[in-house]
Chains A and B, each alone.
Chain A
Amino acid sequence: MDPTTLAALWGAVILSGLYHGLNPGMGWPLAVSAALFERSARAMPRALTALAGGHLLAMAAMLLPFSLMVALVRWEIEIRIGAGLLVIALGVFLLIYRRHPRFLARVKPTRLGLWSFLAAVAHGAGLMLVPIYLGICATLETDAGHAAAGALMAQNFTLALLVALAHTAAMTLAGGALAVGMYFWLGLKFLSKTWFNLDIVWALSLVLVGVIAVAEAL
């Protein structure tokens, strides 16, 4: 793969992070709410950290198993196609079953980290990163084609963490910026004015990522 592809893949990691971060459904308004409850802006970074922690964990939980699998270089193509199909399947499922999982509503409002983790898992935010991540792995394997399996696994593991971190950082930055903006300048009216229903867009973007992943693998 050429450097442009690699840059595009990392771009996708960051862009999907920004996309998750800007969506109020992923939690940034809860940071504003926390600050208003405690009557102190200091509650905002705390809440954002909890949200970021949960999101990071969800990303890592999805990527790390794959990082162990890709050590099996022999099956690289098959795994990439499988991951792509999985993401397509989730996207199609979300298009048909347009409902929010009710169990999320049972999480206590004080447990933002847990909520953020479950929300990211339930909506497939973590899964979306898998094909992108596998794409990045594929570019590296050409250099390390003959490396020992153990070294390869360690490399992929580190890469998975990097992808999760970069994505979560982008998400937190985007959501944090909106939270700070709303708390200090824009006011709470901003929330209902700028919240868009992205359910269909989200499901379609899962399908798109999956299709690209399968096409690239072939």
Chain B
Amino acid sequence: MNLRPDPTFHATPQLAMQAPVENFAFTVMLSPDGSQSDGIAVVDVNPKSDTYGQIVHQVIVPYQGDEFHHFGWNACSSSLSPLTGHAFLERRYLIVPGIRSSRIYIIDVKEPLEAKIHKIIEPEEIFAKTGYSRPHTIHCGPEGIYVSTLGGGGEDGTDGPPGIFIMDCQTFEIVGQYEMDRGPQDKHYDFWWNLPQDYMVSSEWGLPPQFENGIVAEDLLSNKYGHSIHFWDLRARKNVQTIDLGENHQMALEIRPAHDPVKSYGFCGVVVDTTNLQGSIFTWWRGDDGTWQAKKTITIDPRPEDAENLPELLKGFGAVPPLVTDIDLSLDDKYLYVACWGLGEMHQYDVTDPMNPVLAGKVELGGIARGTKHPNGKPFAYGPQMVEISRDGKRVYWTNSLYSTWDDQFYPDDEGGQMVMANVGENGGLALAEDFYIDFPKGLRAHQIRLEGGDCSTDSFCYPNV
């Protein structure tokens, strides 16, 4: 507990943008076959430092086979609302779940160069207290730390639906299931919210048998992955509306609400449309009658390709699907970044008008049957995937691995973990920084990135911009 609010808590997104820039990034390192322990890489992102663009510290966990994926902070700017009642938490711990093991590590990063494990929560405790498995997205909110899960109970995680559970934000004790009325929700992936407006939105990937051993082509072609987004009365813990985006819109993943809490809209990325292989972005918003609406506002076309250049999985299609696997929205709600992991492209859309996004910038890197090299001449395995934006919106960082078994199906010849950074132009546009390229230790891949002091997919703000 601090005597004053943590200096990295900001009342509005605007104030967060004006705050000092990040000096460190924390990036997931994962062993795709569980032969090594996973860890968190501490990356120096201060251009004035001698070790700029290098991994300066690693927290390696004692177990193997956790498969790190997403992670988050124990506390964020949402603490500044008197309603949450915990204004004096420190932004100090990273909550890092293993999606394969269901184990959760609490990592103390108060001193980034001496980051260490603070606590380990064993899978059995999570199973027993929540009935869920395979923890994933982390957000800090009014009742503590909220953790989404991808699996229910039982060996293969299909005994009951997956959902969200709550952890105490001071002791990291697991409190229990979040949902009181989940309605038709039976799959899970991401979630985020607008705290003052008291709503939450959640999305769907698929159940554990549909992803753990690789993508199941039959399930995809018969539209059995998730294709709905759910709207919740956050504090009543009740699903109030489910929007089916259409069963051909397979895998509705990242949920990105506008950061300014006065706005009632946001975005959701859909990996693939099974009718035409397009990737797409839906804009969702609250209509005048109070009900939720969603509309497809961005489509990205597949690229035709000779079957001989394609992995087994795609040979029959004669094309490279864009595979929209991650999206992220800048704190000024102006630019939406869209990772096209199949094409090997990072797109930047101007979403000032959320109903009419305009492509403002694009970077090509990696990609199926293309393998575009980094401007520094080095290779980039797979394609642009987990993306994170600096608070001031001027730097965009990303890594390359989607998920161990899926990497191997879509990119059977690639291996490696890379993290890169692109600078954002004064009026949009995106250019890779030649001097920022991190090759991860051999045998480890890279996934989500978190920035010191918060970034564009962690903090929830409770006061509108002025």
Binding site for B on A (CB under 8 A): 24-27, 29-30, 32-33, 36-37, 98-102, 104-110, 115, 119, 187-189, 191-192, 195-197, 199
B81 and A188 within 8 A (CB): no
Residues from chain B with Cβ under 8 Å of A30 in the complex: 81-83
**How near does chain B come to A190, taking the closest CB pair, in angstroms?**
9
B9 and A33 within 8 A (CB): no
A102 and B143 within 8 A (CB): yes
B15 and A105 within 8 A (CB): no
**How near does chain A come to B25, taking the closest CB pair, in angstroms?**
24
A188 and B15 within 8 A (CB): yes
Within 8 Å of chain A (Cβ to Cβ): is B84? yes
Q: Which 9 A-B pairs have the closest CB atoms?
A: A100-B85, A105-B142, A188-B11, A36-B464, A197-B88, A192-B5, A105-B143, A197-B3, A106-B235
Asked, given contacts A192-B80, A197-B1, A197-B2, whether A109 binds B88 with beta carbons under 8 Å apart, the answer is no
A36 and B466 within 8 A (CB): yes
A195 and B83 within 8 A (CB): no
Residues from chain B with Cβ under 8 Å of A115 in the complex: 83
The total number of A-B Cβ pairs within 8 Å is: 95
**How near does chain B come to A155, taking the closest CB pair, in angstroms?**
37
**How near does chain A come to B76, taking the closest CB pair, in angstroms?**
13
**How near does chain A come to B93, taking the closest CB pair, in angstroms?**
17
B85 and A105 within 8 A (CB): yes
Residues from chain A with Cβ under 8 Å of B196 in the complex: 33, 37, 109
Within 8 Å of chain A (Cβ to Cβ): is B195? yes
Residues from chain B with Cβ under 8 Å of A36 in the complex: 262, 463-464, 466
**How near does chain B come to A211, taking the closest CB pair, in angstroms?**
25
Shortest Cβ distance from B197 into A: residue: A109
Mostly helix, strand, loop or mixed at chain B's interface?
A: loop
Residues from chain B with Cβ under 8 Å of A104 in the complex: 83, 85
Assembly CA distance A52 to B235 (angstroms): 23
Residues from chain A with Cβ under 8 Å of B81 in the complex: 29-30, 33
**How near does chain B come to A109, taking the closest CB pair, in angstroms?**
5
- In the complex, which of the residues A32, A100, A106 contacts B86, with contact meaning CB atoms closer than 8 Å? A100
Q: Please, could you name 19 A-B residue pairs with CB atoms under 8 Å apart, sorted by A?
A: A27-B82, A29-B82, A29-B463, A32-B463, A36-B262, A36-B464, A37-B261, A99-B170, A104-B83, A105-B143, A106-B142, A106-B143, A107-B83, A108-B198, A109-B196, A109-B198, A119-B82, A189-B11, A196-B3
- In the complex, which of the residues A33, A37, A98, A107 contacts B1, with contact meaning CB atoms closer than 8 Å? A98
Residues from chain A with Cβ under 8 Å of B236 in the complex: 108
**How near does chain B come to A9, taking the closest CB pair, in angstroms?**
29
Contact residues, B1-36 vs A (CB, 8 A): 1-5, 7, 9-12, 15
Residues from chain B with Cβ under 8 Å of A105 in the complex: 83-85, 142-143, 235
Assembly CA distance A30 to B11 (angstroms): 12
Shortest Cβ distance from A183 into B: residue: B466
**How near does chain B come to A94, taking the closest CB pair, in angstroms?**
13
Assembly CA distance A192 to B466 (angstroms): 16
B5 and A33 within 8 A (CB): no
Contact residues, B368-416 vs A (CB, 8 A): none
Asked, given contacts A195-B87, A197-B88, whether A187 binds B4 with beta carbons under 8 Å apart, the answer is no
Interface size on B, as a range, is 35 or more
Assembly CA distance A37 to B144 (angstroms): 24
Residues from chain A with Cβ under 8 Å of B198 in the complex: 108-110
Write out, one digit per residue, whether chain B residues 85-99 have a CB within 8 A of any chain A CB (1) or not (0): 111100000000000
B4 and A195 within 8 A (CB): yes
A188 and B12 within 8 A (CB): yes
Residues from chain A with Cβ under 8 Å of B235 in the complex: 105-109
B5 and A37 within 8 A (CB): no
A192 and B9 within 8 A (CB): yes
Assembly CA distance A21 to B7 (angstroms): 24
Assembly CA distance A27 to B85 (angstroms): 10
Residues from chain A with Cβ under 8 Å of B80 in the complex: 29, 191-192, 195
Residues from chain B with Cβ under 8 Å of A189 in the complex: 11, 15
Within 8 Å of chain A (Cβ to Cβ): is B462? yes
- In the complex, which of the residues A192, A196, A197 contacts B10, with contact meaning CB atoms closer than 8 Å? A192
**How near does chain B come to A29, taking the closest CB pair, in angstroms?**
6
Assembly CA distance A195 to B5 (angstroms): 7
Contact residues, B443-465 vs A (CB, 8 A): 462-464
Shortest Cβ distance from A190 into B: residue: B11
Q: Which of A99, A187, A192, A195 has the most CB of B within 10 A?
A: A192
Assembly CA distance A78 to B84 (angstroms): 38
**How near does chain A come to B411, taking the closest CB pair, in angstroms?**
44
B466 and A187 within 8 A (CB): yes
Assembly CA distance A24 to B79 (angstroms): 12
**How near does chain B come to A47, taking the closest CB pair, in angstroms?**
12
Assembly CA distance A108 to B196 (angstroms): 9
Residues from chain B with Cβ under 8 Å of A102 in the complex: 143-144, 175
Residues from chain A with Cβ under 8 Å of B3 in the complex: 196-197
Shortest Cβ distance from B84 into A: residue: A105
Assembly CA distance A36 to B12 (angstroms): 11
Assembly CA distance A113 to B262 (angstroms): 21
Shortest Cβ distance from A188 into B: residue: B11
Assembly CA distance A143 to B463 (angstroms): 53
With A36-B464, A105-B83, A106-B235 given, name 8 new contacts (CB 8 A).
A29-B81, A33-B81, A99-B170, A104-B85, A105-B143, A109-B196, A188-B466, A199-B88
**How near does chain B come to A183, taking the closest CB pair, in angstroms?**
9
Asked, given contacts A98-B1, A105-B83, A107-B235, whether A33 binds B15 with beta carbons under 8 Å apart, the answer is no
Assembly CA distance A104 to B144 (angstroms): 12
Contact residues, B195-222 vs A (CB, 8 A): 195-198
Residues from chain A with Cβ under 8 Å of B262 in the complex: 36-37
**How near does chain A come to B105, taking the closest CB pair, in angstroms?**
23
- In the complex, which of the residues A25, A27, A33, A199 contacts B463, with contact meaning CB atoms closer than 8 Å? A33
Assembly CA distance A206 to B60 (angstroms): 46
Assembly CA distance A100 to B7 (angstroms): 21
**How near does chain A come to B177, taking the closest CB pair, in angstroms?**
14
B464 and A33 within 8 A (CB): yes
**How near does chain B come to A184, taking the closest CB pair, in angstroms?**
11
Assembly CA distance A197 to B89 (angstroms): 10
